[in-house]
Structure 1
Amino acid sequence: MPIDPALSQSDYQVRLDWGMPGLRRLAPAPVIVVVQTLGLTAHALSAAENAAGWEIAGDDDAAAALVRAAGATGAHVVVGGLRNAAAVAAHVLEVQRSRGERTGISVLAVGQGEGADLRFSVEDSLGAGAVIAALGDLGIDHASPDAAVAGEGYRALAGAVRHLLTASGTGRALAADGGRDAVLAAAARDAASVVPVLRGEVVTAI
């Protein structure tokens, strides 16, 4: 099915969409930030903080597949979210400075499930919004309506993030499996200063 150019957000520097369909819809961007607050982002940050890389080559998870597909576009692919929003924004600003020109940034929230079963999750909306808000704090604020809503939504709800993550469907499911501490850790804004970046088929800290 052809992609509607009106949905590409090509007029804006900072864009937002969801999952693999979102990657196909958005105009090509030199920088792609992938967010899955209670999945990919948590795993990549844990590996990075322990000076280890996360191999994605054989991973058939939807988030890993999205990272691989994003990398295949030739973009600089970063994993971000609530825990490292400020660090990601600072890194993106440095990438823009090194390129010497305004740089398009696609923020892709992974959500839960895939294809027709894709669910737009609260935790990934907040994680993507935190990154977008942090970019805006550094002056990278030419955001599409989609990105602006997520960014300002995060700002308005920042004080309730812990509650929202633990009360979300994904958060409750993880807590029921003994993962409540991981959910609370994922809610800690800017607790991490590392930026996981895709290098070949490994996500590693820079």
Structure 2
Amino acid sequence: MPETPPLAAQTHYQVRFGRGLEGLQTVGALADLVIWVDALPEPGAVAGQKAPRAEDAHAHGWPELIGVPIIHADLTNRSDAARWMLEQQVEAGDRVSVAIVTAGDGVEDTLAAGAVIDALAGLGIDFSSPEAAVVCASFTALERAVGHLLSASVAGRALIADGYADVVSSASGIDSQSSVVA
């Protein structure tokens, strides 16, 4: 008899949501695709890669996600990330599941994850877990205030204090870039 996945994996739903390594392990490991959301770099580490690379997974303590494509998304490329997910589904010829997993639990990552989930819903991919629906609702309710919220968040204020106001400003541009990083 096959093992029943944990409820936290949200396997009943097509669009799932988790936070950090725990979310990657519980939600991401049992999804067909993972969209890693990291809206702002860590204070003091502006230059650096935000998305985990498959070859670096073990070195950084990432759970093994062999065969699960992972891309990076944030506010700036949320629609492209959603289109990428739809392309994967069309290519598979069947419904695929996606785990939206944030790097942290800050305001900036929550809003960016909600933006990605909202973009998925705009493409008709909206069978979302309650966890994903709540994160999406936070973005849609606060979309017009995203720029202010990113700059007023703890991470945003720390980056601004370190002289990186331009990084925070560009990170708040919804759909201002057109690429996803695998």
Could you tell which deviates more after superposition, 184-193 or 18-27?
18-27
The farther-off stretch of 95-104 and 5-14 is: 5-14
Partner residue in 2 for 1:31 = 33
Q: Which residue of 2 aligns with 1:109?
A: 102
Hey, what's the Cα distance between the residues in 2 that align with 1:181 and 1:140?
A: 33
Matched, 1:154 2:139: yes
Q: Deviations over 1:138-190 (max 9, x none)?
A: 00000000100111110110000000000000000000000111001000000
Q: Which residue of 2 aligns with 1:165?
A: 150
1:1-206 superposed matches below 5 A: 5-26=6-27, 28-39=30-41, 65=60, 69=63, 72-111=65-104, 120-197=105-182
- Find the counterpart in structure 2 of residue 50 from structure 1: none
Query: So what's the TM-score if we normalise by structure 2?
Result: 0.86
In structure 2, the CA distance between the partners of 1:65 and 1:151, relative to structure 1 (3 Å rule), is farther
Check conservation: 1:13, 1:105, Cα contact below 8 A: yes
Give unpaired runs (5+ residues) of structure 1. 46-53, 112-119, 198-206
- For 1:139 and 1:65, how far apart are their aligned partners in 2? 35
- What is the distance in 2 between the residues matched to 1:97 and 1:188? 28
For 2:26, the aligned partner's letter is R
The percent of aligned pairs where both chains have the same amino acid is 39
Q: Is the 8 A contact 1:37 1:123 kept in 2?
A: yes
Structure 2: distance between partners of 1:180 and 1:57? 32
Residue-by-residue CA offset, 1:105-160 (whole Å, 9 max, x unaligned)? 0011011xxxxxxxx20000011111000000000000000100111110110000
* Contact 2:57–2:63 (CA under 8 A) maintained in structure 1: no
The alignment's TM-score, normalised by the length of structure 1, stands at 0.77
May I ask how many residue pairs the two structures share in their alignment? 174
CA contact (8 A) 1:44 1:79 kept: no
Residue aligning to 1:116: none
Cα 1:177–1:56 shift into 2, 3 Å:
farther
Unaligned runs of 5+ in 2: none
Q: 1:4 touches 1:25 (CA, 8 Å); kept in 2?
A: no
Are the structure 2 counterparts of residues 29 and 58 from structure 1 closer, same or farther at C-alpha, using a change threshold of 3 Å? closer
Superposed CA RMSD: 2.7
2:72–2:181 CA contact under 8 A, matched in 1: yes
Decide whether the 8 Å contact of 1:44 with 1:196 is kept in 2. no
